Amino acid sequence: MELTVRTSKPYDILIERGSLRTIGARCAALFPAGAKAAVVSDSSVFPLYGETVTGSLRAAGFAPASFVFPAGESSKTLATVSGLLGFLAEQGLTRSDFVVALGGGVTGDMAGFAAACYLRGIRFVQVPTSLLAQVDSSVGGKTAVDLPQGKNLAGAFHQPAFVLIDPDTLATLPPLFFADGMGEVIKYGCIRRADLFRTLETAGDAAPLMEEILFSCVDCKREVVEHDEFDTGERLILNFGHTLGHALEKAHGYTGLTHGAAVGIGMVLISRLGEHMGLTEPGTAGRIAAVLRRWNLPVEDPMAQGESLDRVIGATALDKKGLGGDLRIVLVHRIGESFVHRLPRAQFAALCRETFLPAGEAGVR
Ligand SMILES: NC(=O)c1ccc[n+]([C@@H]2O[C@H](COP(=O)([O-])OP(=O)(O)OC[C@H]3O[C@@H](n4cnc5c(N)ncnc54)[C@H](O)[C@@H]3O)[C@@H](O)[C@H]2O)c1
């Protein structure tokens, strides 16, 4: 399956089992013969797929060199990017050479950021290997690193030259990371793909449907990104579940609750709020919770109840979708139909208390 993303610099996305072995031939259509290719990967992914990718690039006449960093979010720093930029310079990459990001979202975000900075921008190819990276981070051109002050605070928009998604790589992805990615898959069903949501409500095993699932998610992201490349409007709907999800992650100190799990709980909570406001079809939050459970994701969190609810509400203060004293939340009218709703922060806080606290406790604080 192939898609073209028509952003300022259009690019193709290939979703095909076994396509990792064809990366060299695919790149031959995009880059000059003999070009240098810097393969950036982490310490978990490179031992699994590094040789396949570098071998295929070499067979196609490119000169690959590999930069491998320790796996995990803690590597997504300016220090690692600094090392990577030095590596690109030592290898003598020029503007006709390219970077290959082989790995999850951490690899893609960081390699993309380095490619955006090096020589004021060289081309790069995304080869996402985690479910989250395949359905989300590899498409759309957002690249970033974390700062000690917060996640993704330094970055750039830099669209890839090509995205190659090989669903077979998911066979080695640890189950916790697979479930995490399913949180984002379910999100696409909620915001724009009711048919995908129905598939997820009934399917027993994702493996035979993976290409279809990936296509549906990537096509949804393509549609949104094409309309709003630089994140000034429609792209907000991709943040369904993220306002309260991010707040829960923060309230947990970014440990113990994965991002996908937090977004899943956030989708249930915001839909309960939408139902309470009369803007979301009754029963929607229950349907979302049932699908999340089916795909091994939690649907509630003690932090969103009782005394700690105010801490979670307080943590939404940093939400990137804020506009002055207002907050923009993403809601669904019904599964597959999302919209952005703007409301004053104080009203949001009061509605959260009314919706999530037992009757009688809402007005206490
Ligand atoms: N740019 C964007 O638009 C965007 C969107 C969403 C998330 N993100 C970013 O993505 C990151 C999270 O992505 P992630 O969950 O992929 O993290 P990750 O890159 O750390 O990958 C998760 C883990 O899975 C391992 N892994 C990946 N593929 C594997 C495979 N096929 N087999 C075995 N192990 C494999 C990795 O080594 C890592 O340990 C965050 O930094 C987040 O900010 C970016």
Q: How far is the CA of 65 from the centre of ligand 1 (A)?
A: 22
Residue 17 included in any domain: yes
Checking if the pLDDT of 76 tops 90, the result is yes
Minimal-distance CA residue to ligand 1 atom 12: 105
Whether residues 187 and 138 share a domain: the answer is no
Whether residues 257 and 334 share a domain: the answer is yes
Residue 363 included in any domain: no
Q: How far is the CA of 70 from the centre of ligand 1 (A)?
A: 13
Checking if the pLDDT of 313 tops 60, the result is yes
Whether residues 97 and 198 share a domain: the answer is no
Kindly tell me the burial class for residue 153, based on how many C-beta atoms sit within 10 Å of its own C-beta (0-12, 13-18, 19 or more).
Answer: exposed
* pLDDT > 90: percent of the chain: 81
Distance CA 114, CA 340 (A): 33
The CA R_g of the chain, rounded to the nearest whole Å, is: 21
Q: How confident is the model at residue 315 (pLDDT cuts 50, 70, 90)?
A: confident
Find out whether the beta carbon of 106 lies less than 6 Å from any atom of ligand 1. Answer: yes
Cβ distance 243 to 321 under 8 Å? yes
Q: How far is the CA of 333 from the centre of ligand 1 (A)?
A: 31
Residues 6+ apart with CB under 8 A from 270: 240, 241, 243, 244, 329, 330, 331
Q: How confident is the model at residue 318 (pLDDT cuts 50, 70, 90)?
A: low
Whether residues 11 and 154 share a domain: the answer is yes
Residue 319 included in any domain: yes
Q: How far is the CA of 104 from the centre of ligand 1 (A)?
A: 3
What is the overall mean pLDDT for the chain? 93
Q: 147, 92, 153, 165: which is closest to 122 by C-alpha?
A: 92
Amino acid 364: pLDDT: 47
Final residue in a domain of this structure, among 120, 141, 173 = 173
Beta strands at 98-103 and 123-128: parallel, antiparallel or unpaired: parallel
Residue 247 included in any domain: yes
Whether residues 260 and 352 share a domain: the answer is yes
Residue 119 included in any domain: yes
Whether residues 207 and 338 share a domain: the answer is yes
Report the CATH number at residue 248.
1.20.1090.10
List beta partners, residue 158. Answer: none
Final residue in a domain of this structure, among 144, 173, 202 = 173
Whether residues 208 and 255 share a domain: the answer is yes
Residue 117 included in any domain: yes
Q: How far is the CA of 139 from the centre of ligand 1 (A)?
A: 13
Q: Could you tell me the two tokens for 198? A: 């129905």
| Helix locations, the chain, DSSP H | 23-28, 46-59, 78-90, 105-117, 131-132, 175-191, 194-202, 210-227, 242-251, 259-277, 284-294, 309-315, 345-356
Residue 154 included in any domain: yes
Report the CATH number at residue 10.
3.40.50.1970
Amino acid 228: pLDDT: 85
Of residues 315 and 98, more confidence is placed in 98
Find out whether the beta carbon of 104 lies less than 6 Å from any atom of ligand 1. Answer: yes
How large is the average pLDDT for residues 89-94? Answer: 98
| Number of domains forming the structure of the chain | 2
pLDDT tens across 322-365, in order? 677 889 999 999 999 999 999 999 999 999 999 998 776 665 44
Amino acid 233: pLDDT: 84
Distance CA 194, CA 191 (A): 8
Amino acid 320: pLDDT: 63
Q: Could you tell me the two tokens for 361? A: 């406790």
Ligand 1 pocket test target in 5, 43, 177 with most atoms within 8 Å of CB = 177
Whether residues 267 and 304 share a domain: the answer is yes
Q: Could you tell me the two tokens for 292? A: 């999340």
Distance CA 280, CA 234 (A): 19
DSSP tag of 323: B
| CB-side neighbour CA atoms (13 Å) of 201 | 15
Find out whether the beta carbon of 194 lies less than 6 Å from any atom of ligand 1. Answer: no
Distance CA 150, CA 250 (A): 10
Distance CA 86, CA 92 (A): 10
What is the separation, in whole angstroms, between the first and last Cα of the chain?
53
> Which atom of ligand 1 lies at the shortest distance from residue 172's CA?
32
Amino acid 322: pLDDT: 65
Kindly tell me the burial class for residue 364, based on how many C-beta atoms sit within 10 Å of its own C-beta (0-12, 13-18, 19 or more).
Answer: exposed
Of residues 44 and 227, more confidence is placed in 44
Longest C-alpha distance within the chain, in Å? 71
Distance CA 190, CA 153 (A): 28
Question: Could you give phi then psi for residue 145, rounded to 5 degrees?
Answer: -130, 165
Minimal-distance CA residue to ligand 1 atom 19: 104
Whether residues 198 and 167 share a domain: the answer is no
Whether residues 132 and 192 share a domain: the answer is no
Final residue in a domain of this structure, among 173, 203, 225 = 173
Checking if the pLDDT of 293 tops 70, the result is yes
Domain housing 33: 2-173
Q: How far is the CA of 355 from the centre of ligand 1 (A)?
A: 33
Q: 88, 183, 91: which is closest to 132 by C-alpha?
A: 183
Whether residues 13 and 160 share a domain: the answer is yes
Checking if the pLDDT of 251 tops 70, the result is yes
Whether residues 88 and 207 share a domain: the answer is no
Q: Could you tell me the two tokens for 168? A: 């077979």
> How many Cβ atoms sit within 10 Å of the Cβ of residue 320?
12
Model-level pTM? Answer: 0.94
Amino acid 94: pLDDT: 97
Residue 195 included in any domain: yes
